[in-house]
Each structure stands twice: as C-alpha cells, then as structure tokens.
Amino acid sequence: MHKSVTLLWRYVKFAGSTVVGTGVDFLVLWLCSEYIIPDLVVGPYQAGDYSIDAFSFGEYVISPTISFEFAVFTNFVIAYWFVWRDRVKGSPKNTFWKNYLYYNLTSTSTFFVNLLILVLVERFTHLDVIYCKLVASVFTGLMNFVINERLIFNKKKAFAYKQSFDEKKK
C-alpha cells in the first residue's frame, strides 16, 4: 500500500480510537465534575488592581485530570492493539508497559497544553467545562497523532524491538 494511503488509513483508525477515548474522557469528566468532586472552589483573589473570580478547581482541574488518565489508558490499548499493531514487535509482555510509559508521558505533556487551553477558554468565555474541553481537544488531537506516529510507535523503534525479541528467542 502506498505510504500516504497507509498514513491516511492509520489516521482514520487513530481518529476512531480518539472518539472512543474522548467518550471515556467526557463520561468520566461528567461523573467527576457532577457527582464526585464538583464543589472544590478556590478564590476569589485580589492582587492590587488584578482580581480572579472564584474558580471551581475540582470541576475545572481535578476532574479533567482524572478523566484524562482514564482516556489515556483506553486510547493506548486501542493504539497498541489496533492502530499501530504492525509496529509493535516482540512480546506484549516486553513492550506493552514500556510503550505505555512513553505514551503516558507524552500524553501528559499534551494534557497540560489541553488543560491550559481549557482554562483559558473558560476564563474568556465562561462556558461549561464540557464545551471548554471540546475546544481544547480539537487543538491537541492532531498533536497527539504526530507524537504517536513519530515517537511512540515509530517504525525504526518497532524494528529495534523486533530484533531484540528475536535475539532473546535464540
């Protein structure tokens, strides 16, 4: 299959897995922000002429953090077994958790970008957390695909895992 068609197909699979992960993310976000930790409020703060209104830390920071980790694991499992399966070489026992560690670290970096966007959108628009999360997710979705394609499930790295696994079998 032509390289650009393969990349496009991989992106379609990634987008589909992202829909599932986003569903998990939004469901857990809703459950946390509505039922588990909705009322942890910080502020208001006044510093000279600058003031910050009361801010629901539980709803806009802790709940998205918890929902994010649920979504990361869901997305990784789908990415590992479906989207980039052809690049996962060797025993899952040897590669699953190592890849998950890298995946989680890079996803966490992207999460902070997502969280920053979410909070900025809320500060400027005062929209509900769900809408703020949607806006932030649009920007970070493509960023995640590029990181996975180039770093986590890189062809060269997959080849090195395969060589290492084959040598251990001998």
List phi, psi (to 5°) of 49.
-85, -5
Q: Cα separation of 57 and 30, whole Å?
A: 14
Low-confidence stretches of the chain (pLDDT < 50) are 159-163, 165
- What the block records as the tokens of 42 is 């910080």
Answer yes or no: pTM beyond 0.75: no
Residues for the chain: how many in total?
Answer: 170
The answer to whether the beta carbons of residues 141 and 163 sit under 8 Å apart is no
CA distance linking residue 122 with residue 103, whole number of Å:
28
Residues 8-53: pLDDT tens digits? 898 899 989 989 998 999 999 999 888 887 666 666 666 666 555 6
- Residue ranges covered by each domain of the chain: 3-30+64-169
What confidence score (pLDDT) does residue 162 get? 46
Query: Residue 44 — φ and ψ, nearest 5°?
Result: -75, 160
Q: What is the DSSP string of 112-126?
A: HHHHHHHHHHHHHH-
